[in-house]
Amino acid sequence: MSTTEKDINYFLLNYNLVQNHREHLAKDSFPEWRPQEKCGVFAVYNYREPGKAAIITYLGLLALQHRGQESAGIAFKDDNGIQSIKGMGLVDTVFTRETLSSIKAGTILGHVRYSTTGISNAANAQPLVARSFDKTGIALAHNGNLTNTRKLQDKLLLEGQIFHTTSDTEILLSYLFRYRRQGLVNAVKKTMSIVEGAYAAVIMDDDQLVAFRDPGGFRPLVIGKFGEAIVFASETAALDTVGATFVRDVRPGEIISAGPGGLKSTLVQADTKSSLCIFEYVYFARPDSVIDGRSVHQVRRDVGSTLAGRINTNLDLVIPSPDSGVSAAIGLAEALNLPLEWAVHRNPYLGRTFIEPTRDGREQAVRLKFNPIQALIRGKRVAVVDDSLVRGTTARVLTSLLLASGAAGVHLCIASPPYRNPCYFGIDIPVAEDLAVPGDDFDRLALSIGADSITFAEPEDLYNALGSDQSAFCTACFSGDYR
């Protein structure tokens, strides 16, 4: 069997596995509304075995599915210039085996999307492509949010620009396309001097793949290698999934071009100040990813350990909120020397059709989703650990389910500070009145949820776990400091 045949079989195996888990993945963000990551980016440059780059990109996008479930797409070059295949839904819904097998290009750009600006529709699905009449063009995949969108949009409209989408990514695309004749790296450099906000992005033209990160480095972006081929991905977990070797993170304010001459780095601003989103570590990134040299799982676990020192009550058992509290629960149980039990079963086959988007509907959905194992809980004072508390729907229903199952007490342990402020950098966080934590009266909050107590991690707990002070991160949604 040739390597390509083996790879296609590997793809088929994954394809079938994924089909079985579609419902499970689709439900991950529901019924409890959670902060949503905007997007995931994955790209391969110059994979020499025909037909393999598309399969690698498909697998890489599957590994990044948690960063966006609304739409998925890839762009590649054929004899007619840059083409794209995009659609609404999960990665395995958008691409078929036949489609992927037919793509022979060795350079592919891929994207999964969750919308924070622009509505969720097929036109906004990425990569976005801009072409000219001579068949040349560019394709762009973007994770993040521009903050001067309105100003730039008005300016472009006055200049006669027609927009085809409602996404801020089209503004990036417009400037990159406008300057592309100066070379992609120069086009990116010029565009970076115009746009503001958060962007970890990859652009391709006929010859090159260029990755770039805003000077604050809000969103992660890494470089990997497959022999001669280069990979860019939002998270290292995607590199692991496809078997690529991690090279390094793209630095804040850096442009990395992969072209016929190899990899080249251009630092746009030497004095960049890191503003990496701290919630990548709290919730957004996969626990098996490593961002800027820090294991996401280890950071969450260390915050869980620190929480142990903030809890002033006797406990018998630690339970992770499925599945978001697992890493922190391990740290907490270890530090308190208490048993850790997966005492709440999570039903992965929940459909979304009959769930009303109301508080009652959401609570009913949580009941459908979770069921406590009574024998483990009866008579126990339990610590329920979650990574964050947003609306509090899951916490409220889980608490009542645990009490109804005979728990002697429910103590909520949240491995991050409370959300208090909106995010303008690519994360969808609800408006203030929808947040569970309006003030500092945590006793009242616990009462409203039905729990005996609630303990949040302090910002210092996160900085200690990260081994750095606040200056290295964006913390605006809990500190209000937008820098």
Contacting positions for ligand SF4 (CB under 6 A): 218, 277-279, 423, 425, 427, 474-477
Laid out side by side, the sheet with 409-414 consists of: 317-320, 381-386, 409-414, 453-456
Helix (H, G, I), strand (E, B) or coil at 312: coil
423 is catalytic: no
Running DSSP on this structure, what letter comes out for residue 417? P
Between 57 and 475, CB nearer to ligand SF4: 475
* Phi, psi of 133, rounded to the nearest 5 degrees: -65, -25
- Smallest separation, CB 166 to ligand SF4 (Å): 21
Choice between 70 and 214, CB closer to ligand SF4: 214
Residue among 77 and 219 whose Cβ is closer to ligand SF4: 219
**9-28 b/e with 16+ CB inside 10 Å = b?**
eebeebbeebeeeeeebbbe
Question: Cis (ω within 30 of 0) for the bond into 50?
Answer: no
Taking the complex as a whole, the smallest distance from the CB of residue 291 to ligand SF4 amounts, in Å, to 12
Nearer to ligand SF4, 106 or 417 (CB): 417
149: enclosing H helix or E strand? helix 149-158
Q: Least Å distance between CB 127 and ligand SF4? A: 23
Supply the minimum distance, in Å, between the C-beta of residue 278 and ligand SF4: 5
- The neighbour count for residue 353, using CB atoms within 10 Å, is 4
Q: What are phi and psi of 256, to 5 degrees?
A: -115, 120
Nearer to ligand SF4, 114 or 218 (CB): 218
The SS3 of residue 107 is: coil
Distance CA 99, CA 171 (A): 30
Residue 270's CB is within 10 A of a number of other CB atoms, namely 6
Shortest distance, position 425 Cβ to ligand SF4, whole Å: 4
Rounded CA separation 296/292 (Å): 10
Out of 39, 277, 413, 474, which one is annotated catalytic? 39
Measured distance CA(46)–CA(44) in Å, rounded? 7
Nearest approach in angstroms of CB 239 to ligand SF4 is 23
Position 116: which residue type? Answer: T
Measured from the CB atom, the residue of 375 and 431 that comes closer to ligand SF4 is 431
Q: Write the DSSP assignment of 213-260 as a string of letters.
A: E-TT--S--EEEEETTEEEEESSHHHHHHHTPEEEEEPPTTEEEEEET
Which residues are marked as active site? 39
